[in-house]
Amino acid sequence: MNKLVKSWTSSLLAGFAWVITGVRPIWSGSAPSTRQRIYYANHASHGDFILLASCLPRGERARTRAVAAADYWGSTRLRRLIANDLLSTVLIERKVSEGAPHPMQAMLQVLAEGDSLIIFPEGTRNTDDAQALLPFRSGLYNLATARPDVELVPCWIENMSRVLPKGKFLPVPLLCRVIFGAPVALELNEDRPAFLARAREALLALDPRRKRST
């Protein structure tokens, strides 16, 4: 599809996200940059990646692609149109089946093209109010080992689960913020569980409610 249409669509969506949520980026630990990055965030709503992308500088937004589940976003023509043609998301299969390409390949391909990624390491939307963040899947570790040169930036998305809860279509206008933390890098000889736990902790530490209560 036309590049111009894509850039208009992304500006339009960013504008829409702003009207509903007044979304503001809070850069605490990292700064807006044109460096190639992997933004990883908590996931509670289909609006999450639109909200996160709208907080990025315009040029960075154009080359940042969200990783989304093929079983949801590829399931109807309308969703495919939004995901593939308008938002250039990277659709991956959550269930690895034999014969199908491994999801890692699609992500590494995007990184090899020089684009940035938005990923949700919980793997699914969190609907458990009692739990701030589900355990991380291993994709984040695999990306970190394959591409240690790309910065991993934790991004805490605030309130989006209240704006567009799972299974709902109309957004409730509530103020949202996206808090960008300091990049997390894989340490020497760090194993998978240790790295995933540390990355998860770095993301949790950005939640302002957690800061307030402790």
Partner 1 sequence: MLNDYQLLSVGLFAILASASTVSFALNRHAAAPTATLANLTERINAWWAMVAVLGFALLFGKNGLVVLFALISFFSLREFVTLTPTRRSDYWVLIGMFAIIIPVQYWLVWSEWYGLFVIFIPVYCFLLMPAMTALSGDTEHFLERIAAQQWAVMISVYCMSHVPALMTLPLPGFEGRHLLLVAFLMITVQGSDVLQYIFGKLFGRHAVAPRVSPSKTWEGLLGGLASASLLGAALYWLTPFTPLQAGLIAFLSCSMGFLGGLVASAIKRDQGVKDWGHLIGGHGGMMDRADSLVFSAPIFFHIVRYFWAV
Distance CA 144, CA 18 (A): 32
**Minimum distance from residue 212 beta carbon to partner 1 (Å):** 6
Q: Does 172 bind partner 1 (CB under 8 A)?
A: yes
C-alpha to C-alpha distance for 189 and 172, rounded to whole angstroms: 45
24 counts as binding partner 1 under rule CB under 8 A: yes
- Least separation, in Å, of the C-beta of 207 and partner 1? 14
Rank residues 122 and 158 by Cβ distance to partner 1 and give the closer one.
Answer: 158
| DSSP 8-class letter at 127 | -
What angle, 0 to 180 degrees and rounded to 10, lies between the N-to-C axes of helices 103-112 and 139-146? 40
Least distance (Å) between residue 165 CB and partner 1 = 5
**Contacting residue, 5, 7, 12, 22, with partner 1 by CB under 8 A:** 22
Q: Which is nearer to partner 1, 23 or 50 (CB)?
A: 23
Q: Are 106 and 21 in contact (CB under 8 A)?
A: no
Angle at the Cα of 109 from the Cα atoms of 67 and 193, rounded to 5 degrees: 60
Query: If we measure between CA atoms, which residue out of 16, 51, 54, 69 comes closest to residue 158?
Result: 51
Handedness of CA 23, 24, 27, 28 (dihedral sign): negative
Instruction: Note whether 168 binds partner 1 by CB under 8 A.
Output: yes
* Residues in region 128-147 near partner 1 by CB under 8 A: 129
Q: Which stretch binds partner 1 (CB under 8 A): 31-39, 93-101, 148-156, 172-180?
A: 172-180
Give 34-55 as a 3 state SS string.
CCCEEEEECCCCCCHHHHHHHC
Q: Pairing state of beta strands 24-27 and 116-119?
A: unpaired
The residue within the footprint of partner 1, chosen from 15, 101, 148, 173 (CB under 8 A), is 173
210 part of the interface to partner 1, by CB under 8 A: no
212 near partner 1, rule: CB under 8 A: yes
Report residue 7 as tokens.
């850039």
Residue identified by tokens 């154009």 is 62
Nearer to partner 1, 113 or 169 (CB): 169
Stretch that binds partner 1, among 81-89, 113-121, 149-157, 170-178 (CB under 8 A): 170-178
Q: Rule CB under 8 A: which residues touch partner 1?
A: 22, 24, 129, 159, 162, 165, 168, 170, 172-175, 212
